[in-house]
Structure 1
Amino acid sequence: MRFLAAFLCFIPALALADAAQDLKARLDEIHSLKGRFNQLLSDKNGKPLQSTRGEFAVKRPGYFLWQSEAPYEQTVIGTPEKVWVYDPDLEQVTIRKAQNEADGNPARLLSGDLSEIRSTYEVSLQTADGASRFQLVPKDANSPYRHVEFEFKGSQLAGLDFKDKLDQQTQIKFEQVQPNADIPSSVFVFNPPPGTDVIVDE
C-alpha cells in the first residue's frame, strides 16, 4: 500500500517534468521569431480594459522588440543588458537594466534563457482540439504573475496568456509568424528622436 501511494504521488511529478521538457524542446527550436500580435487586457471579471496590436521580433539570446500601434503607441526594445521603453505621446524613453525587468514580460520570456524553466516554474500541459497549452506557475511568491501560458497549434506558437496578482488577464494572439527568420541586429537598436526626454532608471 505504501508503495502504491508513493507511486501515485510520483506520477504527477513525472508529468510535470515531462511538460517542462516538452516546452523547453519546442522553444529551443525557435532561435528567432517575428510577426504581428493582438493583445487584450481584461479585469478580474473578464471585462476588456485595453486592446492593442502591433509587431514583434525576438532573437536569442536576450533580444526583443515589442511595438504597439495607435492609439496605444509604445516601443519596447530589449538586449541582454538594457531595456528601452519609448512612449511617443510623452516624448519620453525610459532605460532600465535588463535584469530588473519582470520575467513574465512576453518578449523577454521568448528571447531569454530557457535552461531554468523547470527550476523557476511549475509546468503543466493540457491538450484539446489540436492545441497544446503549457501553464507556468512561478515558484517565487514575489513574482508579479500568478501564471503564464504558452499556446501551440501543432508546432506553431500561437499565443501567450498572463494573469497578474490583481487577477487581470493579458491574452496575446500571434499572426503572420515567421520562426527562425533572419532578423538584423539593427532592429534591436533604439535611437531616441530629437527632443525625447531620456530617463535612466537603474
Structure 2
Amino acid sequence: MRISGIFSVTGMTLCALFCLSPVMAADLASVIQQRYETLKSFSAEFEQTLTHKESGSVERRQGSLLFQKPLLIRWQTAKPHEETLVVTAREIWDYLPDEEVAYRYPPSLVRDSRSIIQVITGQAALTKDFDVKPEGEDQGMAKLRLYPKEPAPQMVEAVIWVEPGSGYIRRASIVDFYG
C-alpha cells in the first residue's frame, strides 16, 4: 500500500539548493531532525491518498493531525472514510465508526524509528535510521528519498518534500511491504 499525504504547517522558506549533493542532503536531514525535535506540539490538515498495488483501488481522505510531546497523537480522517487514531504513552486506539469497532494496540508499534510518525515527531534519527538520497527540487521544495537501514513492514521506502530553510515536511509518500 502506498500512502501519500500533503501536510500544511505555517511558514514558508524556500532554498532548493540544499538538495544538490549527498552532503547537503545530510545537512537538510539534520535541519529536519532539529526542527521536529524542538517542536512541543503542532497541528496539520492533510490530504491522504491510499493506493492498493494489488487491486489498483485508490482512496482519498482528508483530515487533521494533532501532536504533543512526548508522544500524544490524534489522526482523524473526515467522512466518508472516517477513522480516528489516538496514540498515548500506554496504548494506541484505532476507531472505525462505520464498523462500530475500536482496536487497541501496544504503543511499541509507533516506537519503531522507521515509521513516518517517528520522523514527523522528531524521534527518528534520520541519518542514523535511514539512507537519505537527494532527489533535487520539486515545486520549491527539496525532495529526499528515505530507505530504512532495516526495512519494516510499514515502511520500506519513503519520499519527503521539505522546505529546506525551515525543515518542515510538507508532503510524504510511504511505500509499505506490500508495495
Counterpart-to-counterpart distance in 2, 1:94 and 1:112: 26
Output aligned runs, 1:107-186, within 5 Å.
107-111=117-121, 113-114=123-124, 116-128=125-137, 129-153=139-163, 155=166, 156-167=168-179
Check the 8 A contact 1:81/1:99 in 2, yes or no: no
Counterpart-to-counterpart distance in 2, 1:158 and 1:112: 15
Deviation at 1:14, TM superposition (A): 4.7
TM-score (norm. length: structure 1): 0.64
Counterpart-to-counterpart distance in 2, 1:143 and 1:120: 15
The higher radius of gyration belongs to 1
Question: Secondary structure at 1:145's aligned position in 2?
Answer: coil
Structure 2 residue 102 is matched with structure 1 residue 93: yes
TM-score (norm. length: structure 2): 0.71
Residue 102 to residue 27, structure 1, CA distance change in 2 (3 Å): closer
Any stretches of 5+ residues in structure 1 without a counterpart?
1-11, 168-202
Check the 8 A contact 1:62/1:78 in 2, yes or no: yes
Residue 77 to residue 50, structure 1, CA distance change in 2 (3 Å): same
Query: What is the match of residue 17 of structure 2?
Result: none
Deviation at 1:53, TM superposition (A): 0.6
Query: What is the match of residue 89 of structure 2?
Result: 80
Query: What is the match of residue 8 of structure 1?
Result: none
Question: Secondary structure at 2:80's aligned position in 1?
Answer: coil
Q: Considering Cα pairs closer than 8 Å and 6+ residues apart, tell me whether 1 or 2 has the greater RCO.
A: 2
Q: 2:51 aligns with which of 29, 32, 42?
A: 42
| Percentage identity across paired residues of the two chains | 20
Query: What is the match of residue 3 of structure 2?
Result: none
Question: Secondary structure at 1:72's aligned position in 2?
Answer: coil
Counterpart-to-counterpart distance in 2, 1:117 and 1:151: 14
Any stretches of 5+ residues in structure 2 without a counterpart?
1-20
Structure 2 residue 63 is matched with structure 1 residue 57: no
Residue 127 to residue 32, structure 1, CA distance change in 2 (3 Å): farther
Counterpart-to-counterpart distance in 1, 2:45 and 2:109: 26
Q: Deviations over 1:52-97 (max 9, x none)?
A: 1111111222111100111111100112331110111122111111
| Letter matched to residue 81 of structure 1 | R
